[in-house]
Structure 1
Amino acid sequence: MKNILIPGLLLAIISITACRKIDSDPVFGQRPDERLMEILEKADQQLKSSEFGYQAYLFPSEGGNGGFAFYVKFDPNNRVQMYSDINASTSSQVGSSSYRLKAIQTPSLFFDTYNYMHVLSDPDNPLGIGGRAVGNYGDFEFSIDSTKGDTIHLTGNKQKSPFVLVKASQADANFYKNNGLYRLDSTLRDYMTNATFLYVEDAKSGNYAFSLNADTRVVSLSRVEGGEVVSLNTEYALAPYGLYLNKAITIGGVSYRYIYWDAATKSLYFKNGDTRINIKNGTTAIIPFWRYIGVDFNSLVINDSPMDGWSTDFTTKWNAARVAMLNGPYTLRMGYLFLTFNKDVKLMTINLFIYQGANQFLATYPYSYTVTEDGVFKFKKAGDPNGNGGLIAANMAPLLNHIENDRFTTDYFIHPVEGVMGMMKSVENPAFSFSTYTTNF
Structure 2
Amino acid sequence: MKKISSFLFSLFAIVFFISSCKKDSYVAKFDKSPEARMSDTINFVKKTLTSAPDGWIVTTPVYFGGGYGFYMSFDDSLQVTMYSDLLDQFASTSKQSQTRLRADMGAALTFDTYNYITELNDPDNNVRNGYGGDVDYIYDHTNGDSIVFLGKRYRMPLSFVKATAAQKAIYTSGGYLTAIQAFRDFFTANSNAYIALDDGTNIAIVPNASNDLDAGKRVTFTTVDGNGDLVSSTAKFAYTVDEMSLLDSGVNIAGLQFKKIAWKDAQTLAVYTSTGGKYPILQSPVPLIPAVNVFTGGGSVITVANETSASGWGSDFVTRRASTNAGINGWNVGGSQLSLGEISFMSINGAAKTFTLRVVTPYGSSSYLNLDYSYSYEVNSDNTLKFTYRTSSGNANALYSTLSPLLQERINTDNFALDYYIDPDTNVAYMRFTSVDNPTFVFTGTF
**In which range does the TM-score fall when normalised by the shorter chain?**
0.7 to 0.9
Question: Which residues of 2 match residues 269-284 of structure 1 at below 5 A?
Answer: 269-270=271-272, 276-283=278-285
Tell me which residue corresponds to 1:228.
229
Three-state SS of the structure 2 residue aligned to 1:299 is coil
Do the aligned partners of 2:208 and 2:218 also contact (CA within 8 Å) in 1?
yes
Matched to 2:50, the amino acid is K
Matched to 1:170, the amino acid is A
Matched to 1:270, the amino acid is Y
Do the aligned partners of 1:259 and 1:271 also contact (CA within 8 Å) in 2?
no
CA distance in 2, matches of 1:169, 1:325: 71
1:117-156 superposed Cα distances (whole Å, 9 cap, x missing partner): 222221112xxxxx44532222222122211111122222
Unpaired runs of 5+ in structure 2? 1-17, 211-215
CA distance in 2, matches of 1:32, 1:390: 74
1:233 CA drift (Å): 1.8
Query: Which stretch has the larger CA shift, 80-89 or 428-437?
Result: 428-437
Given the superposition, is the C-alpha separation of residues 269 and 100 from structure 1 closer, same or farther in structure 2, using an over 3 Å criterion?
same
CA distance in 1, matches of 2:312, 2:435: 12
1:363 CA drift (Å): 5.4
1:86 CA drift (Å): 1.4
Three-state SS of the structure 1 residue aligned to 2:375 is strand
CA distance in 1, matches of 2:416, 2:196: 32
Among candidates 47, 50, 61, match of residue 49 of structure 2: 47
Matched to 2:69, the amino acid is A
Query: Which stretch has the larger CA shift, 263-272 or 186-195?
Result: 263-272
1:320 CA drift (Å): 3.9
Given the superposition, is the C-alpha separation of residues 36 and 205 from structure 1 closer, same or farther in structure 2, using an over 3 Å criterion?
farther
1:354-382 superposed Cα distances (whole Å, 9 cap, x missing partner): 99999999754211111124432111112
Do the aligned partners of 2:257 and 2:273 also contact (CA within 8 Å) in 1?
no
Tell me which residue corresponds to 2:415.
407
CA distance in 1, matches of 2:50, 2:400: 67
Do the aligned partners of 1:117 and 1:140 also contact (CA within 8 Å) in 2?
yes
Given the superposition, is the C-alpha separation of residues 115 and 221 from structure 1 closer, same or farther in structure 2, using an over 3 Å criterion?
same
Given the superposition, is the C-alpha separation of residues 320 and 167 from structure 1 closer, same or farther in structure 2, using an over 3 Å criterion?
farther
Among candidates 333, 336, 347, match of residue 328 of structure 1: 333
Three-state SS of the structure 1 residue aligned to 2:417 is strand
Matched to 1:87, the amino acid is L
Unpaired runs of 5+ in structure 1? 1-15, 126-130
Do the aligned partners of 2:91 and 2:174 also contact (CA within 8 Å) in 1?
yes
CA distance in 1, matches of 2:219, 2:144: 27
Tell me which residue corresponds to 1:198.
193
Do the aligned partners of 1:212 and 1:220 also contact (CA within 8 Å) in 2?
yes
Given the superposition, is the C-alpha separation of residues 27 and 159 from structure 1 closer, same or farther in structure 2, using an over 3 Å criterion?
closer
CA distance in 2, matches of 1:52, 1:72: 9
User: Normalising by the residue count of structure 2, what TM-score does the alignment of the two structures yield?
Assistant: 0.77
1:102 CA drift (Å): 1.9
1:398 CA drift (Å): 6.1
CA distance in 2, matches of 1:253, 1:288: 22
Do the aligned partners of 1:196 and 1:414 also contact (CA within 8 Å) in 2?
no
Three-state SS of the structure 2 residue aligned to 1:28 is coil
1:393 CA drift (Å): 4.3
Question: Which residues of 2 match residues 178-189 of structure 1 at below 5 A?
Answer: 178-189=173-184
Do the aligned partners of 1:314 and 1:434 also contact (CA within 8 Å) in 2?
no
Tell me which residue corresponds to 1:78.
78
Matched to 2:115, the amino acid is N
CA distance in 2, matches of 1:92, 1:322: 56
> Do structure 1's residue 344 and structure 2's residue 354 form an aligned pair?
no
Given the superposition, is the C-alpha separation of residues 329 and 423 from structure 1 closer, same or farther in structure 2, using an over 3 Å criterion?
farther
Given the superposition, is the C-alpha separation of residues 308 and 92 from structure 1 closer, same or farther in structure 2, using an over 3 Å criterion?
farther
Given the superposition, is the C-alpha separation of residues 194 and 414 from structure 1 closer, same or farther in structure 2, using an over 3 Å criterion?
farther
Tell me which residue corresponds to 1:33.
35
Which structure has the bigger radius of gyration? 2
CA distance in 1, matches of 2:93, 2:181: 17
CA distance in 1, matches of 2:231, 2:422: 24
Task: Tell me the matched-pair count.
Answer: 414
Tell me which residue corresponds to 2:217.
217
Do the aligned partners of 2:324 and 2:405 also contact (CA within 8 Å) in 1?
no
1:262-319 superposed Cα distances (whole Å, 9 cap, x missing partner): 4522333426777643223345654312213343x42324278669868495696699
CA distance in 2, matches of 1:354, 1:69: 45
Among candidates 276, 290, 293, match of residue 291 of structure 1: 293
Matched to 1:436, the amino acid is T
Tell me which residue corresponds to 1:12.
none
Tell me which residue corresponds to 2:243.
242
1:338 CA drift (Å): 4.8
Given the superposition, is the C-alpha separation of residues 380 and 335 from structure 1 closer, same or farther in structure 2, using an over 3 Å criterion?
closer
1:153-191 superposed Cα distances (whole Å, 9 cap, x missing partner): 222222233321111111212222233333233323332
CA distance in 1, matches of 2:84, 2:104: 27
Tell me which residue corresponds to 2:110.
110
Three-state SS of the structure 2 residue aligned to 1:405 is coil
Query: Which stretch has the larger CA shift, 371-380 or 107-116?
Result: 371-380
1:432 CA drift (Å): 4.0
Q: CA RMSD in A?
A: 4.2
User: Normalising by the residue count of structure 1, what TM-score does the alignment of the two structures yield?
Assistant: 0.78
CA distance in 2, matches of 1:323, 1:187: 48
1:187-245 superposed Cα distances (whole Å, 9 cap, x missing partner): 23332232264332333583323333333222232222223111122111112222111
Tell me which residue corresponds to 1:381.
389
Query: Which stretch has the larger CA shift, 19-28 or 246-255?
Result: 19-28
Among candidates 117, 132, 156, match of residue 137 of structure 1: 132
Three-state SS of the structure 2 residue aligned to 1:99 is strand
Do the aligned partners of 1:299 and 1:341 also contact (CA within 8 Å) in 2?
yes
Three-state SS of the structure 2 residue aligned to 1:293 is helix
Given the superposition, is the C-alpha separation of residues 354 and 206 from structure 1 closer, same or farther in structure 2, using an over 3 Å criterion?
same
Given the superposition, is the C-alpha separation of residues 269 and 87 from structure 1 closer, same or farther in structure 2, using an over 3 Å criterion?
same
Tell me which residue corresponds to 2:141.
146
Tell me which residue corresponds to 1:157.
152
Question: Which residues of 2 match residues 336-375 of structure 1 at below 5 A?
Answer: 337-350=344-357, 364-375=372-383
CA distance in 2, matches of 1:91, 1:352: 43
